[in-house]
Structure 1
Amino acid sequence: MKPNLPQLQSARLILRRPTREDVDVRLALGRHKEIVEAYGGTFDPDAPFTREHAEAAIRYIEEQEYAWVIDAGRFIGHVRFHSIDRQDKRAALAIGIDDPAFLGRGYGTEAIRLALTHAFSTGLHRISLRVLASNTRAIACYRKCGFVEEGREREAAFVNGGWEDDIIMGVLDREFGQS
């Protein structure tokens, strides 16, 4: 059973559950090289992005236990927690901004801070994530939110025909308020 997630709001955005309208927006956004590669994928400029792809993307968010759409007047991406361990009071964070017009403008930082505030208010102690070492924009965002580098998995992701390292980052509840 999925928890009844609250809607979270900040100055510029709302974290909410997905709606049918999000499919049309996701379809219109299509795929972008920089974003696909930041996710660890290989961009194929000839691969179509269909309504079925958009529906699957929104359905994936719907099916996650702790996931929100990032809404800045409309769908721009999503943020979610996964690998939740209530015994050890920890979870992992994943975020994706699917609209290139919103990259590098602080929307990811704002969404993460909202999500972390909620997660820590539920009693979680630690949130971790992994990010490609080449994704310097995301790493800077995570640092702004209080995450620190905890390790590196060498050649952990095969992207565009080459190996990339994954950076492992984490933030503790007591550190979050200090960022």
Structure 2
Amino acid sequence: MFLPALTTGSKAEEPKTAGDPLAALSKGGTLMVCRTCGKKGDHWTSKCPYKDLAPPTESFIDRSSATEGTAASAQGGPAKGTYVPPSMRGGAERSGTEMRRRNEENSVRVTNLSEDTREADLRELFQTFGSLSRVYVAVDQKTGMSRGFGFVTFVNKEDAQRAINKLDGYGYDNLILRVEWSTPKAN
């Protein structure tokens, strides 16, 4: 690569390139191509001298009307290259609410917990009744203390029922626990 020698006092060449900062760099190769006229290295697209002569470009293309007559949309599928959300792809049978829903039929809600209660404490208390799949204690984000309630999900519904029968009204950490089904029980 050729580097020009630095000389003091030679300001004769500066006015040529002072107006266009890329003129000096573009001598070695093409740095830019005008999107309007396709010329290389002369000017930027915004300064194109031919922009008034160029045909108008479509800035917005309505894809839905453009693909209405295609074979893909006639078959019920999307056109090639269009985004399809995972819930609408072939073979997907789950809706958004079903994807987020946990198996809450075996969940119990525990209220009147002290501020010091952690998930490990609830796990220790409830695991004597059966296998647990999930333990959650609501925690205040600012203080890091328990908000006074939590959820325990059992593997078996019978275990959850036994826990409700034994622990509802149970004295724990100087408070009386309230233990009930987390959702209305389906009959």
What band does the TM-score fall into relative to the shorter chain? Answer: under 0.3
Of structures 1 and 2, the larger Rg is shown by 2
Bigger share in strand: 1
| Structure possessing the higher relative contact order (Cα contacts under 8 Å, 6 or more residues apart) | 1
Question: TM-score, length-normalised on structure 2?
Answer: 0.24
